[in-house]
C-alpha cells in the first residue's frame, strides 16, 4: 500500500505533469541562450587578459631571449590564473550554470581545465625564472634563491604552485585509483589555499598590475566575483535551503538486498524546485554521517509530503545508511543534474537501468507520458533479490509502460550480453527513433553507450547519468 502511495502522491505537484517534447524543446532553447551569455563573458575576459599583456608591452618584448622568456612567463601566468578562476567558478555549484551544463559535464570540464591551468602556471614559473636569470646574468638556481630570499610574496606563490601540483598529481587517474576519496578531496581543498598564497605576488611584482590601478581593480573584481559566487552558492544557498525546509527522515524502507529507501519530510516541500531525475548531496546527522556529503538521486518525483532517495550498500557510509532511523536531521544540497525529462527530443523513450542506476529512472517514469508503447524500461539486476521497486514497476506496467526485467550480471560482450547489440535490437526495434535514458554502474554504462553508437542512435537522443565523479 505504501509503495503505491509513493507512485501516486495524493498532492499535485508540477512534477506530475508529463513533460512533452515541445516543452522540453523550449527549456533547451532557454539553456542555449544562457550558454551563449556565459561563453561571451568568458571570451571577453580572456580577450581582456591578453589585451592587458599587449598593453603593457608583452608583444614588444619578444626578441632578446631573456625578455621573450619573461613576456611568455607573464602571459602564461595571466592565462593560468584566469583559468584557475574559471575552474573555481565551474565548481561553485551555481544553480543555473549546473542546470545548463550538467554536473557530470562540469566535472569533466573542471578536470581538463584544471590540468590546463596547472600546466600554464608551471610554464609561467619556468619562463619567468629563465627570463629573470637571463636578464640578471644569474644561474637558474641562483635566480630561484634570489626569489626566495628577497621576494616573500613570490615565495608564497611557490608554495601555492606546489599545492596546485599536489592537486593535479592526485587527480591523475593512476594516482586517483590509489588514494582514497577522502584524501583526494582534502588535497583538493588546498587549491583554495594555493589561490590565496599566489594572489599577493600578482599585485606586488606582476608588471601588469603593480603600476596600473585600472587593471588592478579589474583583476581584484574578478577574484571578488568568483569568491562571492562560491560563498553564495556553496555556503549561503545550502544554509538557506536547509533552514527553510528543516529536513528529517520520515521512514526507512527496505527495497531489495542491501538497498533501502529513505523518505525525507520537511517544511514547504512543495516549494522545492527539483525535478525527477535530479540528485542532491546528502548528509545525515546520525553518528559521523554529517561529515561527508554523498550524491543520491531522487527515486521518486518530489512531492509536497516527502523526498525519497534509495541507497545501495556499496561502501562504509552507504552501509551505515542502511541503519538510518526516523527523526534524524538531514542536510541536503541541490538539486543538481540535467538527467530530466526536459532533455527529451521525441515522444518515445526507452529507459535503460542497471543495478542501483534504476533510481533516477524510477523517478523519471512519473514525468513521462503514459501513452502505451511510448515508454519502455529495461531494468537489469544481478539477481532476483536485487530488483528494487518491484510493486511500483508493476503499477507503471499496468498503466502502459513496457517494463522488462533482465536478471543476470553484465558479461561485457557486445554480441551476447543481455544488453548487447543484437539483444537491444530485438528488445527495442525502433531504438533509433527513441530518446534513450541510461543509468548504471560505470562498466555497464560505458558498454551500453558503445552499443548505442553501434546501433546508430543519434548522440542528441542519448542521455545518461554516471554514478561517479
Binding site for ligand FAD (CB under 6 A): 181, 279, 294-297, 309-312, 314-318, 356, 359, 465, 467-469
Taking residue 276's Cβ as centre, other Cβ atoms within 10 Å add up to 26
DSSP-derived pairing of the beta strands 435-440 and 349-354: parallel
Q: How far is the CB of 265 from ligand FAD (least distance, A)?
A: 18
Q: Which is nearer to ligand FAD, 199 or 279 (CB)?
A: 279
Q: How far is the CB of 340 from ligand FAD (least distance, A)?
A: 13
Q: How far is the CB of 360 from ligand FAD (least distance, A)?
A: 7
CA gap 302, 277 in Å, rounded: 10
Full DSSP string of 160-184: HHHHHHHHHHHHSHHHHHHS-HHHH
DSSP H helical ranges for 102-212 = 103-136, 140-150, 152-171, 173-178, 181-204, 207-210
Q: Which is nearer to ligand FAD, 318 or 409 (CB)?
A: 318
Q: What is the 3-state secondary structure (H, E, C) of 259-319?
A: EEEEEEECCCHHHCCCCCCCEEEEEECCCCHHHCCEEEEECCCCCCCCEEEEEECCCHHHH
CA-based torsion, 119, 122, 127, 130: positive or negative: negative
Is there a contact between 280 and 295 (Cβ–Cβ < 8 Å)? Answer: yes
Q: Which is nearer to ligand FAD, 127 or 280 (CB)?
A: 280
Q: Which is nearer to ligand FAD, 176 or 268 (CB)?
A: 176
Q: Which is nearer to ligand FAD, 164 or 389 (CB)?
A: 389
Return the residue nearest ligand FAD (CB atom): 315
Q: How far is the CB of 296 from ligand FAD (least distance, A)?
A: 4
Q: How far is the CB of 44 from ligand FAD (least distance, A)?
A: 32
Q: Which is nearer to ligand FAD, 60 or 316 (CB)?
A: 316
Q: Which is nearer to ligand FAD, 101 or 154 (CB)?
A: 101
Residue 235 DSSP one-character state = I
Specify the 3-state DSSP secondary structure of 42.
helix
Q: How far is the CB of 294 from ligand FAD (least distance, A)?
A: 4
Residue 434 DSSP one-character state = S
Q: How far is the CB of 15 from ligand FAD (least distance, A)?
A: 17
CA gap 302, 323 in Å, rounded: 23
Amino acid at each position: 500500500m505504501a509503495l503505491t502511495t509513493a507512485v501516486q502522491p495524493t498532492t499535485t505537484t508540477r512534477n506530475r505533469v508529463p513533460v512533452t517534447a515541445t516543452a522540453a524543446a523550449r527549456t533547451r532553447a532557454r539553456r542555449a541562450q544562457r550558454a551563449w551569455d556565459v561563453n561571451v563573458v568568458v571570451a571577453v575576459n580572456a580577450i581582456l587578459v591578453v589585451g592587458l599583456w599587449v598593453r603593457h608591452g608583452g608583444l614588444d618584448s619578444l626578441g632578446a631571449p631573456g625578455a621573450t622568456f619573461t613576456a611568455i612567463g607573464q602571459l602564461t601566468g595571466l592565462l593560468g590564473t584566469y583559468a584557475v578562476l574559471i575552474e573555481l567558478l565551474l565548481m561553485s555549484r551555481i544553480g543555473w550554470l549546473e542546470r545548463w551544463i550538467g554536473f557530470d559535464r562540469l566535472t569533466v570540464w573542471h578536470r581538463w581545465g584544471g590540468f590546463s591551468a596547472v600546466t600554464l602556471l608551471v610554464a609561467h614559473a619556468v619562463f619567468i625564472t629563465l627570463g629573470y636569470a637571463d636578464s640578471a646574468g644569474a644561474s637558474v638556481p641562483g635566480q630561484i634563491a634570489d626569489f626566495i630570499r628577497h621576494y616573500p610574496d613570490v615565495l608564497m606563490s611557490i608554495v601555492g604552485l606546489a599545492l596546485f601540483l599536489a592537486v593535479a598529481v592526485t587527480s591523475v587517474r593512476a594516482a586517483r585509483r590509489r588514494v582514497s576519496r577522502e584524501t583526494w578531496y582534502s588535497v583538493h581543498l588546498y587549491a583554495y589555499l594555493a589561490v590565496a598564497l599566489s594572489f599577493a605576488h600578482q599585485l606586488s611584482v606582476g608588471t601588469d598590475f603593480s603600476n596600473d590601478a585600472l587593471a588592478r581593480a579589474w583583476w581584484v573584481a574578478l577574484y571578488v566575483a568568483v569568491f562571492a559566487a562560491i560563498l553564495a552558492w556553496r555556503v549561503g544557498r545550502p544554509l538557506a535551503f536547509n533552514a527553510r525546509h528543516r529536513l528529517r527522515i520520515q521512514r526507512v524502507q527496505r527495497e531489495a538486498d542491501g538497498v533501502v529507501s529513505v523518505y525525507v519530510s520537511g517544511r514547504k516541500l512543495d516549494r522545492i524546485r527539483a525535478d525527477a531525475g535530479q540528485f542532491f548531496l546528502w548528509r545525515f546527522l546520525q553518528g559521523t554521517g554529517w561529515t561527508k556529503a554523498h550524491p543520491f538521486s531522487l527515486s521518486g518525483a518530489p512531492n509536497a509530503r516527502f523526498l525519497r532517495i534509495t541507497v545501495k550498500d556499496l561502501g562504509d557510509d552507504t552501509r551505515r545508511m542502511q541503519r538510518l532511523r526516523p527523526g534524524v536531521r538531514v542536510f541536503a544540497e541541490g538539486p543538481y543534474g540535467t538527467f530530466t525529462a526536459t532533455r527529451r527530443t521525441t515522444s518515445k523513450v526507452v529507459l535503460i537501468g542497471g543495478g542501483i542506476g534504476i533510481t533516477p529512472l524510477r523517478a523519471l517514469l512519473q514525468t513521462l507520458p503514459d501513452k502505451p508503447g511510448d515508454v519502455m524500461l529495461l531494468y537489469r539486476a544481478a539477481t532476483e533479490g536485487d530488483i528494487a521497486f518491484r510493486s511500483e514497476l508493476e503499477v507503471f506496467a499496468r498503466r502502459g509502460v513496457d517494463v522488462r526485467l533482465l536478471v543476470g550480471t553484465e558479461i561485457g560482450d557486445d554480441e551476447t550480453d543481455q544488453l548487447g547489440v543484437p539483444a537491444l535490437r530485438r528488445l527495442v526495434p525502433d531504438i533509433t527513433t527513441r530518446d534513450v535514458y541510461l543509468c548504471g554502474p560505470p562498466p555497464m554504462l560505458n558498454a551500453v553507450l558503445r552499443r548505442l553508437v553501434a546501433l546508430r542512435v543519434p548522440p542528441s537522443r542519448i542521455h545518461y547519468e554516471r554514478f561517479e565523479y
